């Protein structure tokens, strides 16, 4: 189970907006040659690291 890290709503929205933006996706996939699957895994891992923490 995951719970939110102590982060305010505005910061969480900024992270979601930035990490999931079409522009960043295109930089990684089109310009840098990442596969869509590699980008998806990176985005998922980054969002979990910034927005969630393991809950025991």
Question: Hey, what's the torsion of the CAs at 29, 25, 27, 4, to 10 degrees?
Answer: -120
| Helix or strand (DSSP H, E) at 38 | helix 36-51
Reported as half-sphere exposure (CB side, CA atoms, 13 A), residue 15 has a value of 17
Q: Does the pLDDT of residue 53 top 90, yes or no?
A: no
Q: Residue 54's pLDDT band (boundaries 50, 70, 90)?
A: low
- Predicted TM-score (pTM) of the model is 0.77
List of residues 6+ apart from 38 with CB closer than 8 A: 28
Average pLDDT over every residue of 1-16: 76
Average pLDDT over every residue of 21-47: 97
The Cβ of residue 27 has, within 10 Å, a number of other Cβ atoms equal to: 13
Q: Does the pLDDT of residue 49 top 70, yes or no?
A: yes
Q: Kindly report the average pLDDT of the chain as a whole number.
A: 87
């Amino acid at each position: 189970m995951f719970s939110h890290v102590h982060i305010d709503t505005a910061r969480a929205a900024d992270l979601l907006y930035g990490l999931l933006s079409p522009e960043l996706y295109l930089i990684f996939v089109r310009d840098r040659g990442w596969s869509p699957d590699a980008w998806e895994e990176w985005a998922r891992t980054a969002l979990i690291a910034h927005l969630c923490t393991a809950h025991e």
